[in-house]
A and B are shown apart, each in its own frame.
Chain A
Amino acid sequence: MAKVEKKRALTEETLREFLREMLLIRRFEEKVEERFRAGDLPGFLHVAIGQEAVAVGVCQAMDEGDIFASTHRAHGHTLARGTPPTAVMAELYGKIEGCSHGYGGSMHLYDVERGNMGANAVIGGGLPAVTGAGLAFKMRDEPRVALAFYGDGTTNIGTFHESLNLAQLWKTKTVFVCENNHWAESTPGWQHSPVSDDMSKRALAYDMRSIKVDGQDVQAVYEAAHEALEHARSGAGPVFLDVETFRMHGHYIGDPQVYRSKEDRQEAADQDPIVKLRERLGLGDDEFGSFDAEANEIVEAALIFAQNGTDPQPEDALKNVYA
């Protein structure tokens, strides 16, 4: 496993920005949970509460022009990459103003302008595409990287293995970000993977470089992601970013988590990346409270925007089938 080199020292001011971003994602998802339970939101949703440092650390390390594929748990990645909370919330409400114009929903957030090539509701569904996009960047000699987020559960599906193999074989400009939150829906890592204690072993099989990082430490994530991205960007080959993180809530909103012990949930709660960063920055109640109030204000505004958004016409359902 490669050791993380600190290429860019983060200032305290930047870390405060990261905290505000993480808080925004947290409050956004809590609001989404609330509105879903209240029956406001159609479909079903997955939140990534506890995994905000991964979204912010990785997305902040990306350059303009880099692209990414996300998963069913995509709110954080999308917000962290700069899609306005209004557009994300409007999408969850199925409005035209949504970032996928009401065609996608929570599991299919897109924002091509900001490099979001789609959140995918099929496990591993986006991995071959980032391999191909990374190939295109290499063939055209473009200084861009294609990155995929996915979970530990994805490491067992065929697209994962086929993608890693092809990416390494062709040295595509791709970064594979494994958010190991220890759960594949309700199935714990030890039940689904023989290498759940060290996901990097998956990369080893493909002779791919891997970098292991604590996903609850946003600075560490940022630095590791930066290193991975620059490695891929240089043409040296893809990187497997092995990020250990914790899912503080259920698989989906409303998941009673009967499969999970109180101790396990407490362990995840003890790893709250926002608490950790706040402690590290030594923020008192006043300062943290003002960040929090700011996040809540943005989320409230996004909610009002979404609730007042424009409903698509039913027959719009037949548009955008073909280019």
Chain B
Amino acid sequence: MPEMTYREAVRDALVEAMRADEDIFIMGEDIAEMGGSMAVTQGLLDEFGAERVRNTPISEMAIVGAGIGAAMAGMRPVVEIMYEDFLTLSLEQIVNQAAKHRFMSGGQVKVPLTIRTQGGAGWSPGAQHAQQLEAWLVHIPGLKVVYPSTPEDVRGLLWTSIYDDNPVIFFEHRLLYPVKGEVPAKLEPIPLGKARTIREGTDVTVIAMGPLVHRSLEAAAQAEEEGISVEIIDPRTLQPLDEDALVASVKKTNRVVVAHEAVTRMGFGAEVAAVLQYKAFDYLDAPIERVGAKFAPLAFAPVMEQFVVPHAEDVLAAIKRTVGK
């Protein structure tokens, strides 16, 4: 199988989708000539032109809201919010409008809009450019929320998100863009709501998202040296959530760690823990461990930033606690 970076995989999904359907267009800040602040959309202006690759003003409410209107008028826009911290500026449009038009109309309207955004710590951008806010969006009925961790998944899931008839918030992680991975020669759409088993194991299940999938792989390798067999599951889509896959793994291993880069408190791991204690209560041999960022905004100084965000060793420590080591 060929290799792609996560960045190339996002770009490839956009290109393939835009080639396949003229109703798909993209808009966002600095996405045209500059190719996006993360260089994801490089080359798209040349291929598709300024009508379909639209540089916008710095205007998040209008970017998302115009996407909603174009979607309601029959197109499939993909809009980019440069940093997920800036989703805050467009939340009214996402929460009150995109998520609710179909419902409030009694099913008359659909909003096939994809909102791509990215974030994440690890490069000292400070408190307003590195948050992980995915859990907020999962709380809103009417939205779908996707957070892929590998090139293959980001490619297949972005395609599916674009063709989904609902608003999808599509989270990418800044540190994952250069990560390489094998991808199918021809893009294979991946259904929303299906978890992926990243690694099979028998003693502990780590349910990890985004960069924590990769950090959990490191932790699992170390755990194996100590005789602990770790299974890693990536939900990939947070809404809809593949509860069955998570429950099935926990029934096998009887121990769980949930891991994400977002702040632990009220993070997505809290929901996963609640689901599992209810659906797999009798199978749990240890308290569910949660790994996430400490409860503070992200500091600028690297030493402070690194203290707050979770690392492989944090996952490993949590794994060990579940097995009493």
Contacts and interface: CB of A to CB of B under 8 A. Distances in A.
Answer whether A and B are interacting partners: yes
Interface of A: 67, 98, 100-104, 108, 110-112, 117-118, 120, 122, 125-137, 139-140, 146, 158-159, 162-163, 165-166, 169-170, 319-323
A112 B109 contact: yes
Contacts of B33: none
B45 to A, nearest CB: 16
A131 B69 contact: yes
B69 A159 contact: no
Given A133-B69, A139-B51, 10 more contacts: A104-B104, A112-B105, A125-B96, A132-B77, A136-B70, A146-B69, A158-B61, A165-B62, A166-B66, A320-B105
A159 B92 contact: yes
A129 B97 CA distance: 9
Contact of A322 (B65, B74, B102): B102
B72 A129 contact: yes
A131 B54 CA distance: 14
Contacts, number: 142
Contacts of A108: 104-105
A316 to B, nearest CB: 9
Give the interface size class of chain B.
35 or more
Contacts of A169: 57
A221 B192 CA distance: 49
Contact of B75 (A103, A136, A320): A136
A130 B69 contact: yes
A151 B325 CA distance: 65
B204 to A, nearest CB: 34
Given A108-B104, A122-B92, A320-B102, A127 B65 contact: yes
A133 B69 CA distance: 4
B74 A128 contact: no
A173 to B, nearest CB: 10
B166 A112 contact: no
B102 A110 contact: no
B73 A132 contact: yes
A323 B166 contact: yes
Given A135-B66, A323-B102, A323-B165, A166 B56 contact: yes
Contacts of A166: 56-57, 59, 62, 66
Nearest to A69: B69
A293 to B, nearest CB: 33
A269 B74 CA distance: 43
Nearest to A132: B69
A163 B65 contact: yes
5 tightest A-B CB contacts, nearest first: A128-B65, A132-B69, A101-B106, A132-B66, A129-B69
A104 B108 CA distance: 11
Nearest to B69: A132
25 contacts: A101-B106, A103-B103, A110-B105, A111-B108, A117-B72, A126-B97, A128-B64, A132-B66, A132-B69, A132-B71, A132-B73, A140-B74, A146-B69, A158-B61, A159-B61, A162-B61, A162-B62, A163-B66, A166-B59, A170-B54, A320-B106, A322-B102, A322-B142, A323-B111, A323-B166
Contact of B110 (A126, A130, A323): A323
B264 to A, nearest CB: 28
